Amino acid sequence: MSRAAVFAVFLFNGALFLSWAARMPALAAQVGATEGTLGLALLGASIGLALTAPFAAKACATLGARKLVIAGVAVTVVAVPALTLAATPLHLGLILFVLGSCGATLDVGMNVAAVAVTRALDRPLMPQFHAGFSIGGLLGSLGAAAAASAGWGLERHLLTAAAIGAVTMALLIKHIPGATGETAETAEDRRPVLRRPVLWLLAGITLFSAIAEGATSDWSALFFVQERQVSEAAGAAAYAGFSIAMAIARLGGEPAQRRLGPYRLLAGGAIVAATGLALAVAVPVPAAGYAGFALVGLGLAFCFPVVMDLAGDAGKRADGTGGEREIGLVTTVAYTGFLVGPPLVGGIAHATDLSVSLGCVAVIIALIVPTVFAARAARTRELNPRGAGSPRP
């Protein structure tokens, strides 16, 4: 039951996030935001994510994953409907900051809980848990489209989505693993996370992946409209293909990780994603673009779940608990990618064009490959300072 409950938290997080994000045109009209002021308001969510993650990790280490998830869920189901109260872009940005903070709290709590389940079952289930977020996002966006088509206003839609999420979580929350405090730490367990190269390298993988995911979500539709001269509806299909490919890949992640091992899976996925994005920008045919962005979703599908698994393993204590601080560090660095990635892509596009800009993102994805093998080497040195063995390939 714990496995199903943790999966439900991932699904809840994705569904609530996309429920409001998919209604952004209505929110922008509600607060009278221009493109520029809306962009500044959206930064509130990213800043909330980045600032809260390290504190969430400390809280999780002390209070446990279940309490962190409860806190994140409780505030989220209040903050999502509160978006309908925003009257100015500033109000919107402040509420999004709170939602970003909730997102960080939920992310850390649910990933620590997921690591606890994978340890208990001794199965590489992290990709499947993260598939829950992808599926939730699809459900949230479809629900938003249905609500808009039915003529539902923002208040009715977001209140309904929050109520469904709250009831579901109330029924399942007791099955979330409590995960632990720091009572069993030894001197080895208290190694400063900031001084461990393996964690910075793992964080680098998620940073590169976050930049690519942010670029895809924010710029793929515009790329197709401007560079491939398709309609707005056809342009939006690119991100849908990316999301569906990512969800399908994550659902099949357990056998893939068992067969290839975490490091080979990460490196191979990065090669697929970089190749896909290069195909999309180099071949001036819409069909190649759609196939390319689907390959990006397929290749990046494993970056976050597998790295969270590896970070949790790097923080595992002798009693089988731990990993909260390590997951917190990796999560914090990843969120900076979501924060700086879209403006970086936009700046390069302003100086050149979107094809060149997204081509640069393909290069960034390719950097995951050497970073993966550097992380593997760093972990080997930690486990076997004298070279007595190596982690899984």
DSSP conformational letter for 322: B
- Taken in order 159, 164, 165, 171, the sign of the CA dihedral is positive
* pLDDT of the chain, 393 residues: tens digit per residue: 889 999 999 999 989 987 887 777 788 889 888 766 877 787 788 888 888 888 887 888 788 889 999 999 999 999 999 999 999 989 999 999 999 898 889 988 898 898 888 888 888 888 889 889 888 888 887 888 788 888 888 899 999 999 999 999 999 988 888 765 444 454 445 567 778 999 999 999 999 999 998 888 777 878 888 889 888 668 777 878 888 899 899 988 889 899 999 999 999 999 999 999 999 999 999 999 999 999 999 999 999 999 988 998 888 877 767 777 888 888 888 878 877 777 788 788 888 888 999 999 999 999 999 999 999 999 999 888 765 455 666
The model carries a pTM of 0.80
pLDDT at 145: 79
Q: Alpha helix locations (H) across 22-88?
A: 24-31, 35-63, 65-82
Cβ count near 85 (within 10 Å)? 11
Per-residue tokens: 269:
């996925």
DSSP conformational letter for 151: T
Diameter over CA atoms, the chain: 66
pLDDT at 361: 95
Question: What's the CA gap between 376 and 319, in Å, rounded?
Answer: 24
CB 96 within 8 A of CB 41: yes
Beta-bridged to residue 316, according to DSSP, are 322
Within 13 Å and on the Cβ side, how many CA atoms surround 4? Answer: 6
Cα-trace Rg, the chain = 20
Question: What's the CA gap between 351 and 201, in Å, rounded?
Answer: 30
Q: Alpha helix locations (H) across 176-314?
A: 197-227, 232-251, 253-260, 262-282, 286-300, 303-314
Per-residue tokens: 45:
């969510």
Q: Residue 258: left (phi > 0), alpha (psi -120 to 50), or beta? A: alpha
From the DSSP assignment, how many helices (H) and strands (E) are in the chain?
A: 16, 0
Question: What's the CA gap between 249 and 302, in Å, rounded?
Answer: 8
Show the CA angle centred on residue 151, arms to residues 145 and 154, nearest 5°: 75
Per-residue tokens: 222:
């515009």
pLDDT at 333: 86
Q: Single out the residue of 133, 166, 168, 177 nearest to residue 304, CA to CA.
A: 133
Question: What's the CA gap between 362 and 345, in Å, rounded?
Answer: 11
Question: What's the CA gap between 368 and 372, in Å, rounded?
Answer: 6
Which run of H or E residues covers position 383?
A: helix 368-383
**Could you give the angle at which helices 262-282 and 286-300 cross, rounded to 10 degrees?**
160
